[in-house]
Amino acid sequence: MPEFAGFRGGLATGVGSWPGSDPREAAATIVGELGELPHLVELPARGAGADLIGRASALLVDLRFDTTPRGYRLASRPGAVSRRARDLLRTDLDALEEAWENAGLTGRGRMVKVQAAGPLTLAAQVELTGGHRVLTDSGAMRDLSESLAEGLAHHVDEVRKRLGAHVVLQLDEPSLTAVLDGSLRGVSVLNTVRALPEPEAGAVLDTVITAQAVPVLVHSCAEPPALRLLRRTAAAALGVELSTIGTGQLDELGETLEAGKYLVLGVVPAVAPGTPVTWRGLAEPGVRLIDRLGFDRRMLAQRVAVSPACGMAGASLEWGRKALRLANEVARAYAEEPEQLSFG
């Protein structure tokens, strides 16, 4: 797998989506608050083509989406949704490039992260023309994953050239657990969606991952996270929401770190909590997790990065900014003094 250029534990980053609809404001905030690993944000508040699934229509090669009352479906020819998705993505890239230049980062070999829906989530959420999920047709799923793999390689290359940066690609797989356990609904009670076996699901993911010339992070906020499958993929890093890790996932998580993969822990609430939080209170569960796994706390500085729990489209802008500051404070504690952290 490609190496992370400059990646280490003790970094803070975002997950993907962000509140509001102003791409320039969003890009300036992200670059300003997440200087070591900023990301190209998604702004779902702008409507069709701006959300996680809709944006994929701007990335696919020779495939495109149309809308239905339930979401998106494959379309036979380019339409308004595909054009809008491409226009929005171009606008977002322009905004990020502007913020990058204003921060004096161009050509300095810094890191940046871009996100896209992973192939399994796309296959689960996008419909065929007949209304069935792409997931129900192995041929269509193969075409979709190959198209995504090629499109993402082009996208990553464009971002690299524009910013002069090392790019990290994040594949978002919020539907992964539902794909594996067969809990997705079909178009009727007589048309069920079968559970996808782990080897088959892993092969689909690796079709996209191994086609990339940059390190890939697979993020899933599903509960429980499918750590056994993700550990066996070619991904260089896994991103999970800390609160979804239970006793049953500890062995897999430990084996993931032992295998040399990086971990991005979602420790900051994605929306403002009902009670005040501090960086110390947010840092504690991650420290206790590493202790419970039996690792030296230096693992936090070596292989564990920090993020909000999930995408932040549902948050206020005020909380979004505060959440990024909290993520930075937790990451700094992990990087600088993990062995000195103590909790009452």
232/264 Cα distance (integer angstroms): 17
Please report the pLDDT score of residue 79 as a whole number. Answer: 84
Smallest Cα–Cα separation from 282: which of 220, 340, 328, 221?
A: 328
The reported pLDDT for the residue numbered 190 is 65
Which pLDDT tens digit goes with each residue over 157-204? Answer: 999 999 999 999 999 999 999 999 999 988 776 677 999 999 999 999
> Of 165, 35, 172, which is closest to residue 93 (Cα–Cα)?
165
**Which tokens sit at 315?**
């948050």
**Model confidence, pTM:** 0.96
Residue by residue, what is the 3-state secondary structure of 299-318? HHHHHEEEEECCCCCCCCHH
Q: Residue ranges of the chain with pLDDT lower than 50?
A: none
| β-sheet bridge partners, residue 308 | 268
Please, are residues 50 and 341 in contact by the beta-carbon 8 Å criterion?
no
Domain assignments of the chain as residue spans, ordered by start: 23-242
Q: Any idea which residue has 């796994």 for tokens?
A: 293
CATH for the 23-242 domain, from 3.40.50.10860, 3.20.20.210, 3.30.470.20, 1.10.1760.20: 3.20.20.210
Q: What is the predicted pLDDT for the residue at 86?
A: 97
pLDDT (tens digit, 9 = 90+) per residue, 20-61? 999 999 999 999 999 899 999 999 999 999 999 999 999 999
What is the C-alpha to C-alpha distance for residues 238 and 228, in angstroms, rounded to an integer?
Answer: 11
